[in-house]
Amino acid sequence: MKKPALILLTLMLTFSTLWGGAVAMGVTQIPHEDPTKAENHYSLSLPLLNYANAISLMACRNYSEAGDLIQQLESSHANLPEEVQFVMSRFNDLAADLTERLDRLDVVLDECEILLSQNEMDATPRKIVEARGLVAEIGSLIGNVNTAMDELILQTAPFISAREAASVQASEARLRESMGKLAQLEDWYKDLLENMESEAGKKETLTATTLTLQTRSSRAWVGESLSVWGNLIAEGVPLAERAVSLHISNSQIATVNTGRDGYYSTWLTLPYWYDVDEVKVHAFYYPEGEDSDRFSATSSEGINIAVMFHPTSVQIEAPSKMLPGLPSEIRGKVNSRGKISGRNVQALLDEDPLFQISTDDDGYFSRDIMIGEEIAHGEHSITFSVAPDNESRSAGTITVSSLDILKAKPVVTLRPPGTIFLPAKLEPTGKIFPPLSSIARIKIEGEVHSSLPLNEAQAMLEVAGASSTSFVNGGEFSVEMEVPFSFSRVGLQEIKLRLVPAEPWQLPSECTTEVLIINLAYLLVLVVVLAGVGVEMIMHRPHGLYERKDKLPSYVEEPHEPLREEVIWLPEAVPIAKENRGVILKAYYSAVAWIQKIYGILLGPQMTLRDFLNQVSSSHSRFAGVLTRLTGLAEKALYSQHAQGEDEASLAQDLSAQIKKQGSEEQKT
């Protein structure tokens, strides 16, 4: 018994080892790692190097890219030590501020340059003052950025790994170099500003000019030509043959030359601007050529002109709710004091074109539309835009109406049978496996309700892995399907009905319920197995006769001689020539079996032959004498070393026969 246990233990150990291997092999080659076990390390040279790049970009006056780069270095998401992050954040703020000021200074200096070139001596000094202020701020900011840079380098030092030391050192050197270039830029701006101030000083000696602008009307229609005129004078002297440019609301509309008396006049056509009520007209004079060294630039006072046009409106009669797939009419009328016939109306459903139409003579339009089924249900909008008509000076208009696309969700209820039995029907298939096709035909009844018409909806029924499709209409319905047999289909099973309506205004719907499936074959198998087990148990029950000897300790523990292996079992003795012992035992067993069968007295596993004799004698005394003699012979056959004679064998057979005979007679009576 030790050997099998050892084998079992070995097997289990082997199995455990294999199991460990199998689980370890469970780790596939998916490219990812456990974040909690990942190694943490910083990259410190990268921010320093990129700050150096950003400062270099600033030094090259590429402020937009420098600003973008600094924005990218926003430190809150960076994987860096907190101390470094804090200084980086401060450095970022200062650098961003510096970039913004430098950019602004560039713009202001450009404006100064233009004003100076145009001899705009009224506006130039203000711009120069602004630029001077910016240069001072920039000087202060560069100092602060330098301090922050030193602090940043100081803070990063403790976290630099040996591997990164060289690259960090190179980045630091690059950053310091960039800061040097930035200081040079500051000097360059200072020089530029000084030059401009010097030039502005020179131009203050130019002759001042005056420009006037007049018009007859303070209002005009869109597209109407407006008469304007004025004079250009330099210290009381008219300036002849000089170009005057006319602007409407900052857009240059016309250019006209002055006459000999400095007078100019022209017609300005008001643009078709329907989105403004008023425009401002200005006249400008910019000295050109030799005039640049003689006269300053000037502009006229602005004149406000009220803009006139015919407002347009549109009235829409459109359904607020629509069903996809069903036609609906949209009507409308364009109202305007200008032209209303032939006006172009465009309709957009959300952002997609819906239709385009022209109005009739009375400004009406109508259109039948049908929304496709692909549209999602819910709130949508229809935008109607009427194009402006410049000929009649009629403005355009836009109006938006909301549209609710309706889709109904049918409500499905199922009334399945309480129980389904499997298999309900057997059909030969002619195949080797499975030899029979067995199914259960089930009928499911139910109801479908929808607030909108529903016809020929596709109903997909799924039960226990099987499915079938049929078509149902609104109201009551009945669906039949065949459920193929499988032993795994047993117990409560889900029934699912999916409804896919044909109408575009209906939404798909589904309903789920449960049904009890009783698998008769499964039950049959269970009964067979249980019966088999029962039979097996019964077959092995009479241990007293057919069981192993080791279950009869009293039988073997009181031997007159040492127990031999052969007597462990109670063999069915076979009469063989010269084998009287077997004949005796067979006769005894035959009698015992017969008593057991007739009287139900069992030779239990713990009983000796003598115990059995006592039990039989106490309840059936008529057998006592015969059975005592037979038991004596059987004991002798079992335990004695001496061979039994033929007479004893014959006697045993007679005694056994007597017992059976007596018993049978008693049964008959």
The site for another protein (CB under 8 A) is made up of 3-4, 7-8, 11-12, 15, 19, 22-23, 25-36, 38-41, 43, 46-47, 50, 69, 72, 77-80, 374, 433-434, 436, 438, 460, 485-488, 498, 500, 507-508, 521, 525, 528-529, 532, 536, 539, 546, 566, 569, 571-574, 576, 579, 581-582
Q: Nearest approach, Cβ of 472 to another protein (angstroms)?
A: 16
Distance between alpha carbon 622 and the CA centroid of its chain, in Å? 91
Query: Measured from the CB atom, is 368 or 565 closer to another protein?
Result: 565
What does the alpha-carbon distance between residue 328 and residue 638 come to, in Å, rounded to a whole number? 109
E strand spans, 261-317 = 263-269, 278-285, 298-299, 303-308, 312-317
* Helix (H), strand (E) counts: the chain: 13, 28
Which of helix, strand or coil describes residue 409? coil
Give residue for tokens 């410049």. 390
Q: Nearest approach, Cβ of 540 to another protein (angstroms)?
A: 9
Q: Nearest approach, Cβ of 567 to another protein (angstroms)?
A: 9
Q: Could you give the C-alpha distances from 400 to 314, 381, 388, 555, in angstroms and in order? A: 10, 7, 17, 108
What does the alpha-carbon distance between residue 629 and residue 114 come to, in Å, rounded to a whole number? 146
E strand spans, 84-240 = 209-211, 214-215, 219-221, 225-234, 237-238
Query: Measured from the CB atom, is 54 or 253 closer to another protein?
Result: 54
Query: Measured from the CB atom, is 15 or 188 closer to another protein?
Result: 15
Query: Measured from the CB atom, is 29 or 184 closer to another protein?
Result: 29
Q: Could you give the C-alpha distances from 576 to 569, 583, 586, 646, in angstroms and in order? A: 19, 8, 11, 11
Q: Nearest approach, Cβ of 213 to another protein (angstroms)?
A: 46
Query: Measured from the CB atom, is 521 or 556 closer to another protein?
Result: 521
Q: Nearest approach, Cβ of 324 to another protein (angstroms)?
A: 13
Q: Could you give the C-alpha distances from 335 to 8, 340, 360, 387, 416, in angstroms and in order? A: 99, 6, 12, 13, 62
Q: Can you read off the two tokens belonging to residue 239?
A: 């300036």
Query: Measured from the CB atom, is 54 or 305 closer to another protein?
Result: 54
Q: Which of 515, 506, 495 is nearest to 472 (CA)?
A: 506
Query: Measured from the CB atom, is 32 or 260 closer to another protein?
Result: 32
Q: Nearest approach, Cβ of 82 to another protein (angstroms)?
A: 15
Report the first-to-last Cα separation within the chain, whole angstroms.
55
Q: Nearest approach, Cβ of 33 to another protein (angstroms)?
A: 7
Q: Nearest approach, Cβ of 445 to another protein (angstroms)?
A: 23
DSSP readout, 42-63? ---HHHHHHHHHHHHHHHTT-H
Beta bridge partners of 434: none
Q: At what angle do helices 124-156 and 165-203 cross, to 10 degrees?
A: 170
Q: Nearest approach, Cβ of 166 to another protein (angstroms)?
A: 13
Give residue for tokens 């109406």. 401
Q: Nearest approach, Cβ of 38 to another protein (angstroms)?
A: 5
Query: Measured from the CB atom, is 66 or 305 closer to another protein?
Result: 66
Beta bridge partners of 328: 369
Secondary element (H or E) of residue 650:
helix 646-668
Query: Measured from the CB atom, is 19 or 188 closer to another protein?
Result: 19
Q: Nearest approach, Cβ of 49 to another protein (angstroms)?
A: 10
Phi-psi region for residue 232, left (φ > 0), alpha (ψ -120 to 50) or beta?
beta
Query: Measured from the CB atom, is 418 or 430 closer to another protein?
Result: 430
What does the alpha-carbon distance between residue 143 and residue 442 come to, in Å, rounded to a whole number? 89
